[in-house]
Amino acid sequence: MSDPILSIRNLSIDYIGAKEDFHAVKDVSFDIASGEFFGLAGESGCGKSTIAFAISRLHGPPALIRTGSQILVGGRDVLALDEDDLRRFRWSEVAMVFQSAMNSLNPVLTIEAQFYDVLRAHSKISRPEARARATELLKLVDIAPERLDAYPHQCSGGMRQRIVIAICLALRPKLLIMDEPTTALDVVVQREILQRIDVLRKQLGFSVLFITHDLGLMVQVSDRIGIMLEGELVEVNDAQTIYRHPQHDYTKRLWASMPKLHGQQTAREFTP
Binding site for ligand ADP (CB under 6 A): 15, 22, 24, 42, 44-50, 62
Q: What is the DSSP string of the chain?
A: --S-SEEEEEEEEEE--SS--EEEEEEEEEEE-TT-EEEEE--TTSSHHHHHHHHTT---TTEEEPTT-EEEETTEEGGG--HHHHHHHHHHTEEEEPTTGGG-S-TTS-HHHHHHHHHHHHS---HHHHHHHHHHHHHHTT--GGGGGS-GGGS-HHHHHHHHHHHHTTT--SEEEEESTTTTS-HHHHHHHHHHHHHHHHHH--EEEEEES-HHHHHHH-SEEEEEETTEEEEEEEHHHHHHS--SHHHHHHHHTSPPHHHHHHHHHT--
Q: How far is the CB of 25 from ligand ADP (least distance, A)?
A: 7
Q: How far is the CB of 22 from ligand ADP (least distance, A)?
A: 5
23/231 Cα distance (integer angstroms): 7
Q: How far is the CB of 235 from ligand ADP (least distance, A)?
A: 16
Question: For residues 49 and 182, which CB has a smaller minimum distance to Mg ion in the complex?
Answer: 49
- 22: partner contacted, choices Mg ion, ligand ADP, none (Cβ within 5-8 A by kind): ligand ADP
Question: For residues 39 and 42, which CB has a smaller minimum distance to ligand ADP in the complex?
Answer: 42
Question: For residues 63 and 140, which CB has a smaller minimum distance to ligand ADP in the complex?
Answer: 63
Question: For residues 17 and 272, which CB has a smaller minimum distance to ligand ADP in the complex?
Answer: 17
71/110 Cα distance (integer angstroms): 36
- 7: partner contacted, choices Mg ion, ligand ADP, none (Cβ within 5-8 A by kind): none
Question: For residues 49 and 161, which CB has a smaller minimum distance to Mg ion in the complex?
Answer: 49
Hey, which residues between 28 and 57 contact Mg ion (CB under 5 A)? 49
- 50: partner contacted, choices ligand ADP, Mg ion, none (Cβ within 5-8 A by kind): ligand ADP
180/104 Cα distance (integer angstroms): 14
- 46: partner contacted, choices Mg ion, ligand ADP, none (Cβ within 5-8 A by kind): ligand ADP
Hey, which residues between 236 and 255 contact Mg ion (CB under 5 A)? none
- 45: partner contacted, choices Mg ion, ligand ADP, none (Cβ within 5-8 A by kind): ligand ADP
Q: Is 190 in the site for Mg ion (CB under 5 A)?
A: no
Question: For residues 132 and 258, which CB has a smaller minimum distance to ligand ADP in the complex?
Answer: 258
Q: How far is the CB of 122 from Mg ion (least distance, A)?
A: 27
Q: How far is the CB of 222 from ligand ADP (least distance, A)?
A: 17
**Ramachandran sector of residue 223 (left: φ over 0; alpha: ψ -120 to 50; beta: rest):** alpha
Question: For residues 93 and 180, which CB has a smaller minimum distance to ligand ADP in the complex?
Answer: 180
Site residues for Mg ion per CB under 5 A: 49
